[in-house]
């Protein structure tokens, strides 16, 4: 069975969806760059190993990534899943895990790379929005897409309602 690590920074609702799904691999570890991320509680409740690697404690991105890389090697990880992990990864780290690392992003890539996607969709007046699961490559939010979830933006939608509607889709498509 393939060994999976999930990298998180926050609430971890996508991590929860992965834990609750009947995956063909095993989640053996969760790494958070934030010590107070609720995702860590979710992992512990599921009996999954956790590691807190705080980016602030390292002089630069490369040093932080090297510690994460070693943790992934120690756990003998085959697949890295980014689930609300809010750090940009160094080119060296991405290269080491190329083809073995996926991310979920809250927009219909290639539209709305980066942050504040719901707000930008609303400001543009788009009709369609959603989320994308994609391979991670050196260029931010630009790797090949594996799947997308699509929703229609309602006239009544605001940032919060769009965020929660996108989350529902994320929890469906990421385990797939």
Contact set with ligand GAR (CB under 6 A): 10-14, 83-84, 104-106, 131, 167, 170
Whole-Å CA distances, 4 to 79, 103, 160, 169: 5, 13, 30, 21
Could you tell me the smallest distance in angstroms from the CB atom of residue 26 to ligand GAR? 19
Radius of gyration of the chain (CA): 16
Active-site pick, 55, 69, 105, 134 = 105
Residue of closest CB approach to ligand GAR: 84
Q: Which is nearer to ligand GAR, 70 or 147 (CB)?
A: 147
Could you tell me the smallest distance in angstroms from the CB atom of residue 15 to ligand GAR? 6
Residues in CB range of 64: below 8 A, 6 or more apart: 33, 53, 55, 57, 58, 87
Q: Does 171 qualify as catalytic in the annotation? A: no
Please give the positions annotated as active site.
105
């Amino acid at each position: 069975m393939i060994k999976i690590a999930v990298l998180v920074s926050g609430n971890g609702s996508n991590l929860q969806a992965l834990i609750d799904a009947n995956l063909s691999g095993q989640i053996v570890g969760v790494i958070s760059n934030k010590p107070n991320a609720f995702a860590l509680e979710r992992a512990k409740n599921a009996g999954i190993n956790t590691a807190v690697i705080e980016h602030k404690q390292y002089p630069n991105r490369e040093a932080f990534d090297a510690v994460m890389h070693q943790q992934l090697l120690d756990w003998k990880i085959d697949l890295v899943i980014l689930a609300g992990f809010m750090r940009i990864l160094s080119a060296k780290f991405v290269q080491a895990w190329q083809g073995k690392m996926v991310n979920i992003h809250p927009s219909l890539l290639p539209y709305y790379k980066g942050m504040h996607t719901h707000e930008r969709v609303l400001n543009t007046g788009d009709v369609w929005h959603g989320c994308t699961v994609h391979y991670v490559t050196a260029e931010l939010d630009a790797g090949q897409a594996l799947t997308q979830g699509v929703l229609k933006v309602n006239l009544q939608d605001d940032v919060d309602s769009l965020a929660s509607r996108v989350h529902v889709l994320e929890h469906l498509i990421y385990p797939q």
